[in-house]
Amino acid sequence: MCRAILAETRFLVAFCVPLMLVALFFAGCASQDPRPDVQADRVDVVTLPKFGLDPHWGGREIPPGIRAQRAQLIQQLAERGAEPGDFALEVTQTGWEAMSKLDFATAMRRFNQAWLVQPQTPFAVMGMAMVVFDRDGDVEGGLLLMHSLEQPLVAESSYWINRASMEKRSGMITEALKHFQTAMQLAPNNPVTIKELVELYGSVSNFPAACALLTKARQHTIQIDQQLSHYIETNSSSSCVAS
Protein backbone atom coordinates (compact mmCIF):
# COMPACT_ATOMS: atom_id res chain seq x y z
CA MET A 1 0.00 0.00 0.00
CA CYS A 2 2.77 2.43 0.94
CA ARG A 3 4.50 1.93 -2.42
CA ALA A 4 1.22 2.40 -4.30
CA ILE A 5 0.42 5.60 -2.43
CA LEU A 6 3.89 6.98 -3.02
CA ALA A 7 3.71 6.20 -6.73
CA GLU A 8 0.32 7.89 -7.03
CA THR A 9 1.56 10.89 -5.07
CA ARG A 10 4.55 11.24 -7.38
CA PHE A 11 2.12 11.37 -10.31
CA LEU A 12 -0.10 13.94 -8.62
CA VAL A 13 2.76 16.15 -7.49
CA ALA A 14 4.57 15.55 -10.77
CA PHE A 15 5.74 17.54 -11.03
CA CYS A 16 3.62 8.26 -1.02
CA VAL A 17 9.37 6.78 17.81
CA PRO A 18 7.52 8.54 20.14
CA LEU A 19 7.78 12.20 19.31
CA MET A 20 11.38 13.20 19.81
CA LEU A 21 13.67 15.97 18.73
CA VAL A 22 15.88 14.71 15.93
CA ALA A 23 18.79 17.00 15.16
CA LEU A 24 18.85 18.57 11.71
CA PHE A 25 22.44 18.37 10.55
CA PHE A 26 23.78 20.01 7.43
CA ALA A 27 27.30 18.93 6.53
CA GLY A 28 29.52 20.46 3.86
CA CYS A 29 28.72 20.23 0.19
CA ALA A 30 30.09 17.25 -1.68
CA SER A 31 32.55 18.56 -4.24
CA GLN A 32 31.92 15.71 -6.68
CA ASP A 33 28.18 16.39 -6.77
CA PRO A 34 27.22 18.86 -9.54
CA ARG A 35 24.47 20.14 -7.25
CA PRO A 36 25.01 21.61 -3.79
CA ASP A 37 24.20 18.84 -1.33
CA VAL A 38 22.90 18.59 2.21
CA GLN A 39 24.04 15.47 4.01
CA ALA A 40 21.04 15.17 6.30
CA ASP A 41 18.45 12.44 6.40
CA ARG A 42 16.66 13.52 9.56
CA VAL A 43 14.42 16.48 10.27
CA ASP A 44 13.47 18.20 13.50
CA VAL A 45 9.68 18.18 13.34
CA VAL A 46 9.32 20.64 16.19
CA THR A 47 11.65 23.46 15.18
CA LEU A 48 11.06 23.34 11.42
CA PRO A 49 10.06 26.84 10.26
CA LYS A 50 6.47 27.56 9.38
CA PHE A 51 7.18 27.60 5.66
CA GLY A 52 7.98 31.27 5.27
CA LEU A 53 5.23 32.52 7.55
CA ASP A 54 7.67 32.65 10.46
CA PRO A 55 11.32 33.61 9.80
CA HIS A 56 12.48 31.71 12.86
CA TRP A 57 12.57 28.09 13.89
CA GLY A 58 9.33 27.73 15.81
CA GLY A 59 9.87 31.16 17.31
CA ARG A 60 13.59 30.56 17.93
CA GLU A 61 16.41 31.98 15.90
CA ILE A 62 17.85 29.69 13.22
CA PRO A 63 21.16 28.37 14.63
CA PRO A 64 24.26 30.09 13.19
CA GLY A 65 25.51 26.87 11.60
CA ILE A 66 22.29 26.46 9.65
CA ARG A 67 22.31 30.11 8.57
CA ALA A 68 25.89 29.68 7.33
CA GLN A 69 24.98 26.51 5.41
CA ARG A 70 21.98 28.26 3.85
CA ALA A 71 24.13 31.21 2.79
CA GLN A 72 26.76 28.87 1.33
CA LEU A 73 24.20 26.91 -0.62
CA ILE A 74 22.54 30.04 -2.02
CA GLN A 75 25.96 31.45 -2.96
CA GLN A 76 26.82 28.26 -4.83
CA LEU A 77 23.56 28.48 -6.72
CA ALA A 78 24.23 32.12 -7.61
CA GLU A 79 27.68 31.20 -8.92
CA ARG A 80 26.04 28.65 -11.21
CA GLY A 81 23.33 31.04 -12.34
CA ALA A 82 20.57 28.97 -10.72
CA GLU A 83 17.51 30.44 -9.06
CA PRO A 84 16.80 29.12 -5.53
CA GLY A 85 13.15 28.58 -6.37
CA ASP A 86 13.92 26.52 -9.48
CA PHE A 87 16.51 24.53 -7.55
CA ALA A 88 14.03 23.85 -4.75
CA LEU A 89 11.44 22.52 -7.21
CA GLU A 90 14.04 20.35 -8.94
CA VAL A 91 15.32 18.69 -5.78
CA THR A 92 11.78 18.31 -4.43
CA GLN A 93 10.86 16.31 -7.52
CA THR A 94 14.05 14.28 -7.14
CA GLY A 95 13.04 13.63 -3.54
CA TRP A 96 9.63 12.30 -4.60
CA GLU A 97 11.31 10.07 -7.17
CA ALA A 98 13.46 8.64 -4.37
CA MET A 99 10.31 8.19 -2.27
CA SER A 100 8.69 6.14 -5.02
CA LYS A 101 11.65 3.75 -4.69
CA LEU A 102 11.42 3.81 -0.87
CA ASP A 103 14.88 5.42 -0.74
CA PHE A 104 14.00 7.48 2.31
CA ALA A 105 17.52 8.73 3.10
CA THR A 106 18.01 10.27 -0.34
CA ALA A 107 14.48 11.65 -0.31
CA MET A 108 14.99 13.39 3.01
CA ARG A 109 18.30 14.90 1.91
CA ARG A 110 16.65 16.34 -1.21
CA PHE A 111 13.68 17.69 0.75
CA ASN A 112 16.13 19.28 3.20
CA GLN A 113 17.95 20.92 0.30
CA ALA A 114 14.71 22.37 -1.03
CA TRP A 115 13.66 23.65 2.37
CA LEU A 116 17.09 25.14 3.09
CA VAL A 117 17.04 27.47 0.07
CA GLN A 118 13.26 27.97 -0.18
CA PRO A 119 11.32 27.36 3.06
CA GLN A 120 8.08 28.05 1.17
CA THR A 121 8.28 24.67 -0.62
CA PRO A 122 5.30 22.82 0.88
CA PHE A 123 5.63 19.69 -1.26
CA ALA A 124 9.14 19.22 0.15
CA VAL A 125 7.79 19.49 3.68
CA MET A 126 5.01 17.03 2.81
CA GLY A 127 7.73 14.63 1.71
CA MET A 128 9.52 15.16 5.03
CA ALA A 129 6.26 14.35 6.85
CA MET A 130 5.90 11.07 4.98
CA VAL A 131 9.50 10.05 5.68
CA VAL A 132 9.07 10.86 9.37
CA PHE A 133 5.85 8.81 9.41
CA ASP A 134 6.86 5.86 7.22
CA ARG A 135 10.55 5.40 7.95
CA ASP A 136 10.89 6.70 11.48
CA GLY A 137 7.55 5.44 12.74
CA ASP A 138 6.90 8.86 14.26
CA VAL A 139 3.13 9.08 13.84
CA GLU A 140 2.71 12.24 15.90
CA GLY A 141 5.62 14.01 14.21
CA GLY A 142 4.48 13.09 10.69
CA LEU A 143 0.93 14.27 11.34
CA LEU A 144 2.24 17.44 12.99
CA LEU A 145 4.05 18.36 9.79
CA MET A 146 1.05 17.43 7.63
CA HIS A 147 -1.35 19.54 9.70
CA SER A 148 0.92 22.55 9.37
CA LEU A 149 0.64 22.30 5.57
CA GLU A 150 -3.14 22.62 5.41
CA GLN A 151 -3.16 26.32 4.52
CA PRO A 152 -0.66 26.26 1.61
CA LEU A 153 -1.93 22.94 0.22
CA VAL A 154 -5.65 23.17 0.95
CA ALA A 155 -6.53 22.97 -2.78
CA GLU A 156 -4.16 20.05 -3.57
CA SER A 157 -5.82 16.63 -3.70
CA SER A 158 -2.45 14.90 -3.19
CA TYR A 159 -2.11 16.60 0.20
CA TRP A 160 -5.47 15.31 1.38
CA ILE A 161 -4.78 11.81 0.00
CA ASN A 162 -1.51 11.54 1.89
CA ARG A 163 -2.89 13.07 5.08
CA ALA A 164 -5.90 10.73 4.99
CA SER A 165 -3.65 7.74 4.30
CA MET A 166 -1.58 8.57 7.38
CA GLU A 167 -4.73 8.94 9.47
CA LYS A 168 -6.16 5.66 8.22
CA ARG A 169 -2.96 3.78 9.04
CA SER A 170 -2.98 5.43 12.49
CA GLY A 171 -6.51 4.16 13.18
CA MET A 172 -8.06 7.63 12.81
CA ILE A 173 -10.92 6.39 10.64
CA THR A 174 -13.27 9.36 11.08
CA GLU A 175 -10.55 11.82 10.10
CA ALA A 176 -9.41 9.63 7.20
CA LEU A 177 -12.94 9.43 5.80
CA LYS A 178 -13.37 13.19 6.06
CA HIS A 179 -10.11 13.95 4.29
CA PHE A 180 -10.49 11.34 1.55
CA GLN A 181 -13.86 12.95 0.89
CA THR A 182 -12.11 16.31 0.60
CA ALA A 183 -9.66 14.76 -1.86
CA MET A 184 -12.56 13.40 -3.92
CA GLN A 185 -14.17 16.83 -4.11
CA LEU A 186 -10.93 18.16 -5.60
CA ALA A 187 -10.28 15.18 -7.92
CA PRO A 188 -13.49 13.13 -8.31
CA ASN A 189 -12.02 10.33 -10.43
CA ASN A 190 -8.74 9.71 -8.66
CA PRO A 191 -8.41 5.91 -8.38
CA VAL A 192 -6.54 5.94 -5.05
CA THR A 193 -9.27 8.03 -3.42
CA ILE A 194 -12.07 5.88 -4.82
CA LYS A 195 -10.44 2.62 -3.68
CA GLU A 196 -9.72 3.98 -0.21
CA LEU A 197 -13.25 5.30 0.25
CA VAL A 198 -14.82 2.03 -0.89
CA GLU A 199 -12.77 0.23 1.75
CA LEU A 200 -13.44 2.77 4.50
CA TYR A 201 -17.17 2.99 3.83
CA GLY A 202 -17.32 -0.79 3.94
CA SER A 203 -15.40 -0.86 7.23
CA VAL A 204 -17.94 1.45 8.90
CA SER A 205 -20.91 -0.37 7.32
CA ASN A 206 -21.97 2.59 5.20
CA PHE A 207 -22.99 0.25 2.42
CA PRO A 208 -25.00 2.71 0.28
CA ALA A 209 -21.95 4.99 -0.01
CA ALA A 210 -19.64 2.03 -0.54
CA CYS A 211 -21.92 0.62 -3.24
CA ALA A 212 -22.16 3.96 -5.05
CA LEU A 213 -18.36 4.23 -5.19
CA LEU A 214 -17.99 0.59 -6.13
CA THR A 215 -20.25 1.34 -9.10
CA LYS A 216 -18.12 4.35 -9.97
CA ALA A 217 -14.96 2.26 -9.70
CA ARG A 218 -16.36 -0.22 -12.18
CA GLN A 219 -17.37 2.56 -14.54
CA HIS A 220 -13.77 3.77 -14.54
CA THR A 221 -12.29 0.23 -14.62
CA ILE A 222 -10.67 0.74 -11.20
CA GLN A 223 -9.85 -2.61 -9.67
CA ILE A 224 -11.41 -3.29 -6.26
CA ASP A 225 -10.63 -6.33 -4.14
CA GLN A 226 -13.11 -9.08 -5.04
CA GLN A 227 -13.79 -10.12 -1.46
CA LEU A 228 -14.46 -6.52 -0.49
CA SER A 229 -16.74 -6.06 -3.51
CA HIS A 230 -18.71 -9.20 -2.60
CA TYR A 231 -19.02 -8.08 1.01
CA ILE A 232 -20.40 -4.69 -0.02
CA GLU A 233 -22.82 -6.11 -2.58
CA THR A 234 -24.06 -8.75 -0.14
CA ASN A 235 -24.88 -6.09 2.44
CA SER A 236 -26.20 -3.44 0.04
CA SER A 237 -29.90 -3.04 -0.74
CA SER A 238 -29.17 -1.87 -4.26
CA SER A 239 -27.15 -3.15 -7.19
CA CYS A 240 -23.54 -1.98 -7.48
CA VAL A 241 -23.28 -2.87 -11.16
CA ALA A 242 -22.05 -0.18 -13.52
CA SER A 243 -24.62 0.80 -16.13
Domains delineated in the chain: 1-153 (no CATH), 155-243 (1.25.40.10)
**Alpha-carbon distances of 149 from 20, 51, 77, 232, rounded to whole Å:** 20, 8, 27, 35
Q: Show pLDDT as tens, one digit a residue, over the chain (243 residues).
A: 444 344 343 333 333 322 222 223 222 233 233 344 444 555 554 444 444 333 334 445 566 666 777 777 888 888 888 888 898 899 899 999 999 999 998 898 888 888 888 877 899 989 999 998 999 898 988 898 898 888 889 999 999 999 999 999 999 999 999 999 999 999 999 999 999 999 999 999 999 999 999 999 999 999 999 999 999 999 988 778 765
CB 232, CB 211: distance < 8 Å: yes
Q: Which residues contact 79 (CB under 8 A, 6 or more apart)?
A: none
Distance CA 193, CA 164 (A): 9
CA distance 11 to 109: 21
Stated pTM of the model:
0.75
Q: Is residue 234 helix, strand or coil?
A: helix
